[in-house]
Amino acid sequence: MTAGDPEAHTLASGLAELTSGFSVEVTPREAPKVPHFGEVLAPGTRVYITFLANTPFEDTLSLAARAVREGMRPVPHLAVRAIPDRAALTGMVAALAGIGVTEVLVVAGSVSKPAGEYEETMQVLRSG
């Protein structure tokens, strides 16, 4: 298959269509490997920020702030099983909103034993 082949053109246009508006995922630990998101991503790209069980929320907050500064659209994970209580959840949401985060991905998380009252995502989504 060469660039002049109709099949190559179909593949190229298909890939272009499938990757338009794409998102990426990054962990707070791996993000330092990317000096500046704008060097590899278009402005406004969604950057999903995973929650790792042994990573403090402040690392997620810091990475989300960096993504905002660099013109990205951060979407941090809120791992509900790692949230001890409603006050902590309220503080996390306020901190994220305060730095310009406009959406989150609510997940149960990989923690097997909940840190507090939340065991599943629907509990958080129903909490208001």
Say if 16 falls within a structural domain.
no
CA dihedral of 124, 55, 103, 112, whole degrees rounded to 10: -30
* Structural domain containing residue 30: 22-126
CATH number of residue 31's parent domain = 3.40.50
Integer distance in angstroms from the first to the last C-alpha of the chain? 54
Q: How far apart are CA 70 and CA 89, in angstroms?
A: 26
Please give the C-alpha separations between residue 40 and each of 22, 69, 70, 95, in angstroms, as whole numbers.
Answer: 13, 15, 11, 27
pLDDT tens for the chain, 128 residues long, are 555 666 666 887 777 777 778 899 999 999 999 999 999 999 999 999 998 878 899 999 999 999 999 999 999 999 999 999 999 999 999 999 999 999 999 999 988 899 999 999 999 999 87
Domain count, the chain: 1
Say if 79 falls within a structural domain.
yes
